Structures are given as structure tokens and as C-alpha cells.
A and B are shown apart, each in its own frame.
Chain A
């Protein structure tokens, strides 16, 4: 699903946000991305979500090269991803339902289909009764769940989350993480950037750790580059380790 080979991202001024990062997240796999602020987590997610382009190295998403992809194909590749932001990026001028339905409207689904899927996504995050509410009337945790519903409503192959529990209390955080686990359970690849190490520890999933732009710990690193792409199997949760932490 995600394939990075010696990816370096250098910003103007010579600062390397990522240097020689390699990782391979197979289809249906789930992993956590950790590290201090400024370690390069956001940059890595930005490269996958086509916000930034890598300076060097090969970055692929669903076998498509993220460096050479043409501008007009970017939206179509983004439709394969569901992105969950820390500040959830909801639009406050429309209802919860309309926020969640946006990816489906963009992709040209039919009216009935939109209603059906949007309600299913809201149901999944436990907010079906709030579909007519305005986002501003919801609590922080509810807003984050609306963001998740929007990210999954079009059934993406990959879920990316950038600090999804950053502003939430432990109980809510656990609920949010459980939603990710549920999606992973049905075959969606998930990559979550988080520094909530206690929670990550509980969840028993592979961990990637970045430090100053370098990958210092990689549970996914199992010489996968020698194998044929696609020959990779489901994640081995037992291999989990907390690494250097």
C-alpha cells in the first residue's frame, strides 16, 4: 500500500525533514507512527497524502509514484485515502451530514447512495442521531468522530490520521483508536501518527519511530524489499515492541 525507499524530504534552506526513510505498509496492515514534534511525522504523512513531494528516493502509494504523479491525477489518488486531521477540518457552515457526505458528492455518487453511505458512516462512529446538527454544537470528541466518518465514508483503501487523539481525554482517545482498529479489521490499511505512547502500547500494532527525520525504529522492517510486492501478509501483531521508548 505504502512503499518508501530511502525517501528524503529537504525543505528550502537545506533542512532535512526526512532523511533516507524506508517503510513498507502492506495492504490491510495497521501501524503507528511516533516521534517527538518535529521528528518528521507530519512530513511523512504529507508525502503520502500528496501535499508534499519527496526530494529524493522512491515514494509509492498503491504502486503509483508520488513524485512523478501528474497534477490532474492527484485528486483521484487522494480519493483512495481517508485523512483524519488533528484539527478535524470540518466546515462549520453546514450540517454534520453534509460534512460527511462531501467525499461522496465529490466523487459523483447518486443521491440515494450518498444518504445511505453517509448514515452508515455516522452510525459507525455513533453519531447517527447528530446528522442534522451543526458541527459547532458538538463536543471535541464528537467533532473528531465526524472527521473520521468523513474520512471513511467513501471506503478508502488507506486511512491516515495525524494526531487524531491530540486534544482528547484518555477515554475518548481509546474510543477513537477502537474505531481505527475496527476499520483495520475489515481490511483497510491504517497509519496513525500519534505520541500517545501509553495507548499505542495497549493496542499491539507495529510501531514506526522517527527521530530528527530518521527512522530509528521500524516494526515493519522485515526485508520486505526483497520480496515480491503483494506477497506480503497480514500484520503480525505479536512482533510489537515499544522500541527505544
Chain B
């Protein structure tokens, strides 16, 4: 019974690989089964993770919307060039064509001295007094619209380049309020990063603690499996899969929470759109955002359980 049979019965290498994969699947299903059989613990843990992650998720979505709106604002940013008053209209138009071909410029508009004067006369209410002037004091004007993808820095660069042209007397961009907006956006972005980091740590701790309790509850089982020759990797596996499940479910829950929050806001926002005849479109999670949210939550689950397992599993040894 023993000597020959023993050798033959040992799993061959290819079978070992199959068995290894099989154990992974078993651990996966087993840990899911455990989650299913202790619904209260699971629901509480998943809820904590979901709510925790919905904060950075919601904040991120909010920022994404603000960014999209500011993108619209940025696209209306214009640089006004007041040309040298002595420049002929022909040369001014040539300059406009040249500028329209430079980088970061999406369009240009030429306003001649005469047109400016005409417009001024009609809108300012100083028509009479303008007529008393001996010559037209207004220069030719070119309005330059930077490409919408250009950030503050690129717009500034463009402005400086235009200002440096000899034909340009004054290049003007009302950047102050724009800079303020960008600064606020930058602060908000960094806040999102900080919030995300802090809340991710919170999720790590929550999952780590859940897995730690799980390990303590199954202390006896761990000791027995160690005594019958289980490797640490083998014992670790179901706990790691447990962490993965918590992370995955928590991620899905946070997505759900943010989506519900979005729906809650969508109604009043649509009314606001009607009232202002504005075109504010709320952006929700894209599929990519969803994948990133859920996979990073799953990764947090794995990491949290890994930390717990590394800390506590080695302490449990048969005595």
C-alpha cells in the first residue's frame, strides 16, 4: 500500500499547476461563501467602504464638472491687439493673417479703425464729440482667440509673443479673474488628491480590521492547517480574496451612492438650465471612471487584507 503507491499518488507537475489554480478558484468561491453567510458584517464593512469612497468619488465628479464649465469659459478667452496707429490697413490685415496661422490660435478677427469708430459712435453716446476730432484716434484692432486646450501658461506665452511684435502697441488679456479661477481649481484638485489619499487609508484600515477579526475568529483553523503542512501562502489566500471581495463590493457601492447623488442633483439643475437658458450639462462617471473607481477599491481591499494578514498570520503558530 505504501511505498510504491505513495510516489505514484503524488501530484505531477502539470497537475500541481491545475491544483494551484483550482485552489485559487476554491479560495475565491470559499471567501465569497463566507461573505454570503455573514451578511451583517459584510453589509456593514461594504457600506463603510462605499460611503468612504463616495466622498472622493463625488468630489472628483464635482471637480470634473467645474473643469468642463471652465473649459467653456476658457474657450471664450480673447486677446485684443491694438495696433500701431500709423499702420496701414493693408499691413494690418497681413498681420492678422500671419497671426491666425501661429500655434495656439484658433481664430482671429480684424476690426478696422473705421469700423471701431463707427461702433464707438453708435454705442458710446459720444457721437457728437467724436465728430469734432480732426482724425480717428482709434487704431486697427485684431481679436485673437486662443485654442480652448491652452492653459493659463500657454495663453500667457501667446500674449507675450504678440506683445513683442513691433506692429502691436498693446496686447490685452483680462487674465486676473481667470487666474483666480484656475487657482481655485488647482486648490480643489489638490484637495481631491488629499481627500482621496486620506479616505483610501481609511478604507485600508477598515478592510485590514475586518480581515484581522476574521483571522482571529479562525485562529483554530489556521493552527490546524499549519500543523498539517499548509504553507503561509495557502493560508493567506482565502483572506486575500476576502479583502478583494470587500474592496470590489465597496467600490460598486460608492459608485451607486455617487450616481444616486447625481440623480438627486440632476432635477433642479435641469430647471436651472431652463430658467437661464444655459447649457450646463452635468457630467457623470464615464465607463473609464467606473473601472478606475472599482479597480482601485478592489486594489485597496487586497492591500488592506495583505497588511492584516502579514501582521497577524505569522503570530499564529501552533504551541
Contacts and interface: CB of A to CB of B under 8 A. Distances in A.
Interface string A22-34: 0000000000000
Contact of B229 (A75, A110, A111, A187): A75
A108 B225 contact: no
B19 A155 contact: no
A108 B23 contact: yes
Contacts of A83: 227-228
B231 A110 contact: no
A107 B3 CA distance: 18
Given A91-B221, A155-B6, A106 B230 contact: yes
A57 to B, nearest CB: 21
B11 A113 contact: yes
Name the prevailing secondary structure of the B interface residues: helix
Contacts, number: 78
B229 A103 contact: yes
Contacts of A105: 23, 26
A102 B225 contact: yes
A79 interface: yes
B20 interface: yes
Given A51-B318, A91-B224, A108 B11 contact: yes
B16 interface: yes
B220 A91 contact: yes
Given A113-B11, A155-B6, A106 B229 contact: yes
A76 B231 CA distance: 8
A239 B23 CA distance: 48
A91 B219 CA distance: 11
Interface of A: 49, 51, 72, 75-79, 83, 89, 91, 93, 102-103, 105-111, 113, 117, 150-151, 155, 186-188
Interface of B: 1-3, 5-6, 9, 11, 15-16, 18-20, 22-23, 26, 220-221, 223-232, 234, 317-319
